[in-house]
Amino acid sequence: MASARIGLAAALTLTRTGDVWLFRGRTMADRTIQVTTNSPINHVGMAVVLDDLPPLMWHAELGRSLPDMSSGTHQHGVQLHDLHDAVGVWGHRYKQQAWVRQLDHPVSREMEDAVLRTIARLDGTPFPSTTQLASRWLCGRTPVINRRSGRGDLETAYCAEIVAVTYEAMGLLTPGRRPNWYDPGRFWSGDDLRLSAGARLGREVAVDIGSTRARRID
């Protein structure tokens, strides 16, 4: 695991659109996701930092502790959260270690618009069941099944799929792979995630959440 560390306040100040936030827990549910997807981590989200808005996290999860910043409601599945509050939930309520990997590539206005279109299209998409998650992960590694025939809208989506689809919309991933080829571990530095246009992700930096608590936990 990476040894570099940074405080949450500093991480929030430095994070930019496209940075990935990674989480690893030790509960049975966390381990199930790690084993099911053969991944060293169990959750990944993407930072969205636009204009005067606070840093946000675009991800998919089973819980609905925080209000979705797009719909204004509490919902399961694909969600857009206040990043500070989301990290607080994953760190304090879910007992997860957090890391951030910064995207080393300028994000243009066109790329930001692509992020917003993806959020508008996929926000609220349900999270798959554990059985569906395992099946989708296995199908994503079967070449015949993985052959792309048009993406369409996802009927269900887990965290890594959301980040991958958004990266593709931003032009950071070459089209051709189905979303279910991606799992959280694809965004960990141990995997060879080949980004497009000369982009790369920096090494993991552990985020020390400390005593900071989420502001909107019900």
Kindly report, residue by residue over 14-57, the tens digit of the pLDDT. 999 999 999 998 777 667 766 766 678 989 999 999 998 999 99
pLDDT band at 85 (very low <50, low <70, confident <90, very high): very high
Q: Could you tell me if residue 40 is inside a domain?
A: yes
Residue 218 has pLDDT above 50, yes or no: no
Give the whole-angstrom CA distance, residue 147 versus residue 12: 38
Mean pLDDT of 174-185: 87
Per-residue pLDDT at 214: 43
- Characterize the bridge pairing of strands 56-61 and 43-48: antiparallel
pLDDT at 149 over 60: no
Kindly state the average pLDDT of the residues 104-111.
97
Examine residue 127 and state whether it is found in any structural domain, yes or no: yes
Q: What was the pLDDT predicted at 150?
A: 41
The answer as to whether 105 is a domain residue is: yes
Q: What percent of the chain has pLDDT over 90?
A: 61
Q: CATH no. for residue 170?
A: 3.90.1720.10
Angle between helices 130-140 and 28-36 in degrees, nearest 10: 20
Question: If we measure between CA atoms, which residue out of 97, 87, 99 comes closest to residue 54?
Answer: 87
What are the Cα distances from residue 33, in Å, to 110, 144, 163? Answer: 34, 24, 17
Does any domain span residue 126? yes
How many domains is the chain partitioned into structurally?
1
Q: CA separation (Å) from 169 to 12, 54, 166?
A: 24, 22, 5
Which residues constitute the domain of residue 110? 5-208
Residue 143 located in a structural domain? yes
Please indicate, yes or no, if residue 215 is contained in any of the structural domains.
Answer: no
pTM for this predicted structure: 0.86
Burial 44-69 (b: 16+ CB within 10 A, else e): bbbbbbeeeeebbbbbbbeeebbbbb
DSSP states along the chain = ----EEEHHHHHHH--TT-EEEEE--SHHHHHHHHHTT-S-SEEEEEE--TTSPPEEEEEES---S--TTTSS--SEEEEEEHHHHHHIIIIIS--EEEEE-EES---HHHHHHHHHHHHHHTTPPPPPHHHHHHHHHHHT-HHHHB-S-----SS--HHHHHHHHHHHTTSS-TTB-GGG--GGGGSTTS----STT-EE---EEEE-TT---SS--
Mean pLDDT of the chain: 85
Flag whether 214 is in a domain: no
Position 35 in a domain: yes
Shortest CA distance to 123 belongs to which of 39, 48, 194? Answer: 48
